[in-house]
Amino acid sequence: MKRLQLVPPGASYLPDYVAALTAGWSPDNIRGELAIREALDTIEKNPEAFLASLVDKAARGAPISLPDGSQVKRLPGFTLWLWDGEFCGTINLRWQPGTSSLPPHVLGHIGYAVVPWKRRQGYAREALRQLLPLAKEEGLAYVELTTDLDNLPSQRVIEANHGVVIEHFVKPPAYGGAESLRWRIEL
């Protein structure tokens, strides 16, 4: 594996990010193609605003639209890009101030997505390892992540970072309705 870094989204990395989107990769496993189109449109109109929107530790951004159309207050959070000399994917962290628990509409603290041509190289495992100390710096005692029951690669990523299953559940229909596992990593 090349040396993987987590980098803040920036203009110098943006062409590689756009190339990944254009190739069909989406950082959003629920909204897929729609998320790709929205990101490309936003980048074309105002790349600086797009980049700024990926780091919002004060939760100053607009409310979040849920799959059912309702809106909820944005949580503090940030996205980092996986970089090995090329764009490899994203990892993000979100939290609720003053507590490690999350509101019911948020399935987990952390989400990650690796571009298909960089998978099976340990990048997700390493990105999660590097993100955990940053989650602790935000005051979290633990983080929770969810995986579909059949997503064995993601489960191995979480297990490699000392995650344990705390719940079997079915995701709400708006999030795909799949049988899922909720994992916890103590910080």
43-to-21, 39, 40, 46 alpha-carbon distances in Å:
11, 6, 5, 5
Model pLDDT, residue 19? 98
Residue with tokens 């344990």: 164
Range list of H helices, 3-149:
14-22, 32-45, 47-53, 123-137
Per residue in 92-138, pLDDT tens? 999 999 999 999 889 999 999 999 999 999 999 999 999 999 999 99
Model pLDDT, residue 64? 85
Mean of per-residue pLDDT scores for the chain: 94
Per residue in 8-48, pLDDT tens? 999 999 999 999 999 999 998 777 888 899 999 999 999 99
Rounded-to-integer distance, Cα 124 and Cα 138, Å: 21
Domain boundaries, the chain: 5-186
Rounded-to-integer distance, Cα 148 and Cα 41, Å: 30
Q: Is the pLDDT of residue 1 over 70?
A: no
Mean pLDDT of 170-177: 83
Which architecture, in CATH terms, is 5-186? 3-Layer(aba) Sandwich (3.40)
Model pLDDT, residue 26? 94
Per residue in 67-99, pLDDT tens? 777 889 999 999 999 999 999 999 999 999 999
Q: Which two tokens stand for residue 29?
A: 């496993």
Per residue in 141-166, pLDDT tens? 999 999 999 999 999 999 999 999 99
Helix (H, G, I), strand (E, B) or coil at 1: coil
Range list of H helices, the chain:
14-22, 32-45, 47-53, 123-137, 152-160
Model pLDDT, residue 69? 77
Model pLDDT, residue 67? 72
Rounded-to-integer distance, Cα 175 and Cα 148, Å: 11
